[in-house]
Every structure is written in structure tokens, then in C-alpha cells.
Structure 1
Amino acid sequence: MNATSRRRMSEQAAETAVVGACRMLRLPTIRGKFPDLAEQAAREQMSYLAFLAELLLAECDDRARRRSERRIKAAAFPRQKSLGEFDFDANPNIHAAVVHTLATCEWVKKGQPLCLIGDSGTGKSHLLIALGTEAAMAGFRVKYTLATKLVNELVEAADEKQLTKTIARYGRVDLLCIDELGYMELDKHGAELLFQVLTEREEKNSVAIASNEAFGGWTKTFTDPRLCTAIVDRLTFNGTIIETGTDSYRLAQSRAKAEQAAMT
């Protein structure tokens, strides 16, 4: 056997050893990428240390991506929305600088609330989901729910003697996103249960809500005035309030498309 054959066999043995070690150590990214990175290292005459760094950074980046994807999936967003897709020009009521500051997630880190108030089609849910996604990508545990769905779950948990456990579960996430708050009237029992969730999270973990009603109209949802005042207090203390306005940019976009289609 000549020297070339011995070298080739040695490389094959080394590759087999790397694959086996990666499986044992659970390093799937290195296992998949090391042949290409090895070729690149040889081509660019990288040092052993630089080659090792490339392998490890690739594994770390891929693990971070997978963790982010798991957190986004666990949040149970109904659809994908991003800040990059949001048209700030279509709604001048929403200041891009404020939203981009929120995207740093410092408010989530501090356990502060966020209220998005405005009519349908003004971007509330888009921003709620997009900012929740940013928080999940930043490493925070996030949960999205509709207000009515949350209250129904709490009522069922109370009936099944599981209320404490359910409230604790909602209390543990770093950011609770409650959408469509104010669309339906809640009875006193349902409102009290929702208040318990907010109290559990107060000044510890963040709550972000989207509502089509200004605070003055929340008595339609929370019919007990004192309870309504207490809930508003929980959701606004040390928080950020963004009023998205009354003009639906979705409706404006639909009209513009219809007019353009009629002209062609």
C-alpha cells in the first residue's frame, strides 16, 4: 500500500470517527457541515484553531435557531407576523421608533405591560404577534391567546378544581399576549378570573394586550366598575400605550387594489 492510499484510508477513518463522535455528543450541525468546512479550511489554509472555531460557532448558531423556533412554536401564534412586514407609512399614528425600541425587549425583561388600542385593521394584532415573536427570538417564554379563549379556559379550570395550576402556568411565561380584549362582554366571574391572572403577573412578568376599545369603554367588557379600574391599573402601570387609531389601513389597501383593478 502506497503513502497516498494510507493517507486516504486515514482520512476515511477520521471522517468515520468524527461522525460517530458527533452522534454521541449530539452535534448534528458539525456532523453535517464538517466535510464542507474542512474543504474550505484547506482551501483557505485556515489554522486548526480557526477551523475548530468555525465548527463550534456553526453548532452554536444552529442550536440558537432551533431554540428560537421552539419558543415561537410554543407561543402558539395564529399566524406569522414580523416588524419588517409592518407598513408604518400606512398608519402614521404608530411611531416606528417606539416600536423598534419595544423590539429590544427591554420592557419584557423589566416585566412591564404593553397596551395596543385601536379599531380593527389598524395593526394591533400584527404588532402584538410581531413583538411577541421578537421576544421569543430573544430567549423569552411567550404565550399568545385570545381574551375569550383565556377566560373560557380559566372557567373550565375552576370547574375542574385546576384553577391554581392554570393560573400558575400562565404566570410563569415571560410575556403573555392577550388579543381581542374588549370584543365581548365578560361576566363578573370571568372578569375576576382574568384579574387573578393579571395579579399573578403584576410587576413580575409582562402582559401585552390588543383591544378595539379605549380604556373609557372597557366597562362594556368588565361590567363591575371597580374591577374594571383595577384591571386597567394592572395593564397600564409603568407600561407603554400605543393608540393605533381608527382608520383601517387594511380597508384602505383593499380599496386601493379594487380601484387599481377597475382601471386596468
Structure 2
Amino acid sequence: MAATGTNTTTTTSGRNVAAELAYLTRVLKAPSLAASIDRLAERARAESWTHEEFLAACLQREVAARESHGGEARIRFARFPARKALEDFDYDHQRSLKREVIAHLGALDFVTAKDNVVFLGPPGTGKTHLSIGLGIRACQAGHRVAFATAAQWVARLADAHAAGTLQGELIKLSRIPVLIVDEVGYIPFEPEAANLFFQLVSSRYERASLIVTSNKPFGKAHMFA
């Protein structure tokens, strides 16, 4: 008779199934599956799953765990200044914002289309919250994201320019599907800084998405259209 639980680890053929599973999940680097396989096996026996159903459940558990872990890794890579979810946005505080617009953006079609998103408004209206919320949603959906203020992006590009690696830096950044540029217009750009920033924007045109927040009216933010 085959093993029916974690206390019985061998079969009539003498195989130590628990040890084999521990070894195989370790080689496959599937710790989440290793931790849940006994519970899945018990449920499979109780509900008379087919072998295919049991295998699918095991694979689904590991895929879900890897997607979750991958999302957390991408969130750390993005360097968000805080963790903000779209679901936590206070629409009562900002009544002029339409929920359906944010819901549409939250579907992330703009990332696939390589379009840009611009949030404009005075300080305290939740622009950064929304940009982070979209960024986290993108991370969880499998997209790489990078967050920085406009001043920080310009400083990074200025360092690359001084080192003679500006084009390489722009190419590297263009491979990140979503860049978030926070606080455009809070500090006026000098001509050289403005030129570097323009190169960042133009290098991503129809290649990858930007999410921009600014306190400037739309007419003064036309460069991001």
C-alpha cells in the first residue's frame, strides 16, 4: 500500500517518497511547493482528484508563490519612497478625480501600449500616491518599474554624461517598462538639466512608459504629451 501521509514515508517497493519529494523540490528551488505538498496530497485523497488535477494544483501553488515573490522583488527594485495602493486612495478628499479613470489606468493597458500617464495638480492632491499605486500594480503584474524624482533622474543622467556613458544609461533605462518621474516642476531645471531630461523622455517615446507627476498646468507640461 502506498503512503497516505507524512508519517508513512515508504511504499511497498521500498521508495522513500517523502525524501524524494524533499530532494526534488529542493533541486527545483520550489520551497513553497515543498511546504504545501502534504496538504495538497491530503486534499487530493479526500476529494478523489485525478493525478492531473493534483499535478495542476501543485504547479499552481508554486507559480503563485513565484509571482508573489517576483512582485516583491520588483517592488524593492523600484525604490518607491513609500508603499501606496490604488485601493487606499481617498477619493472623498479629491472629489474631482474620477474612479473609473484610475480603474482604467489600473488595468495597465498603457504599459502594453507604451503610453505615458501624467498627473497634474497642486501639492497635496495625491499625485505621488497614484503614481506609486500604479507602479506597484505594474510590479505585481510582472513589469519592472523604477521610481525617482525629476531632480534625482537628472542627477543620475548628469553623472552618466560626465562619465561618458549617457547613451548607455538611456538605453538601460529604456528597457525598464515603467519609469516614474515625480515632482516635475517643483525645482526649475537649468538648460543643461532640461536637455538631459528631454533626452530621457525622447529616448522612451513609443518604447516604454512614463508616469509623470507635476504641479505645473498642462500648458507648461506639453513636453510629456
Q: TM-score, normalised by structure 1?
A: 0.78
Measure the CA separation in 2 of the matches of 1:105 and 1:76: 20
Q: State how 1:116-155 maps to structure 2 within 5 Å.
A: 116-155=119-158
Shift in Å at residue 89 of structure 1? Answer: 2.1
1:142 maps to a residue whose letter is V
Q: Does 1:46 align with 2:49?
A: yes
Measure the CA separation in 2 of the matches of 1:122 and 1:99: 14
Which residue of the partner structure matches residue 168 of structure 2? Answer: 165
Distance verdict in 2 for CA 1:9–1:173, change over 3 Å: closer
**Contact 2:86 2:130 (8 Å CA) reproduced:** yes
**Contact 2:116 2:211 (8 Å CA) reproduced:** yes
Shift in Å at residue 195 of structure 1? Answer: 0.5
1:181 maps to a residue whose letter is V
Measure the CA separation in 2 of the matches of 1:139 and 1:94: 27
Measure the CA separation in 2 of the matches of 1:136 and 1:190: 29
Measure the CA separation in 1 of the matches of 2:212 and 2:8: 62
1:112 maps to a residue whose letter is D
Q: State how 1:21-100 maps to structure 2 within 5 Å.
A: 21-100=24-103
Shift in Å at residue 47 of structure 1? Answer: 2.5
Shift in Å at residue 133 of structure 1? Answer: 1.1
1:10 maps to a residue whose letter is T
Shift in Å at residue 217 of structure 1? Answer: 4.8
Shift in Å at residue 26 of structure 1? Answer: 2.0
Larger displacement relative to structure 2 (42-51 or 207-216) = 42-51
Measure the CA separation in 1 of the matches of 2:27 and 2:138: 33
Which residue of the partner structure matches residue 107 of structure 2? Answer: 104
How many pairs align?
218
**Contact 2:138 2:145 (8 Å CA) reproduced:** yes
Shift in Å at residue 92 of structure 1? Answer: 1.3
**Contact 2:9 2:18 (8 Å CA) reproduced:** no
Which residue of the partner structure matches residue 10 of structure 1? Answer: 10
Shift in Å at residue 77 of structure 1? Answer: 0.8
1:172 maps to a residue whose letter is R
Shift in Å at residue 68 of structure 1? Answer: 1.3
Percent of aligned pairs with the same amino acid: 30
Distance verdict in 2 for CA 1:184–1:59, change over 3 Å: same
- Of Structure 1 and Structure 2, the greater helix share is in 1
Secondary structure in structure 2 of the residue aligned to 1:88: coil
Measure the CA separation in 2 of the matches of 1:216 and 1:113: 16
What's the CA shift string for 1:58-97, capped at 9, x where partnerless? 0111111111111111111111000110011221111000
Measure the CA separation in 2 of the matches of 1:186 and 1:173: 24
The answer for unaligned runs of 5 or more in structure 2 is none
Which residue of the partner structure matches residue 177 of structure 1? Answer: 180
1:98 maps to a residue whose letter is V
Larger displacement relative to structure 2 (28-37 or 77-86) = 28-37
1:190 maps to a residue whose letter is A
**Aligned residues: CA RMSD:** 1.9
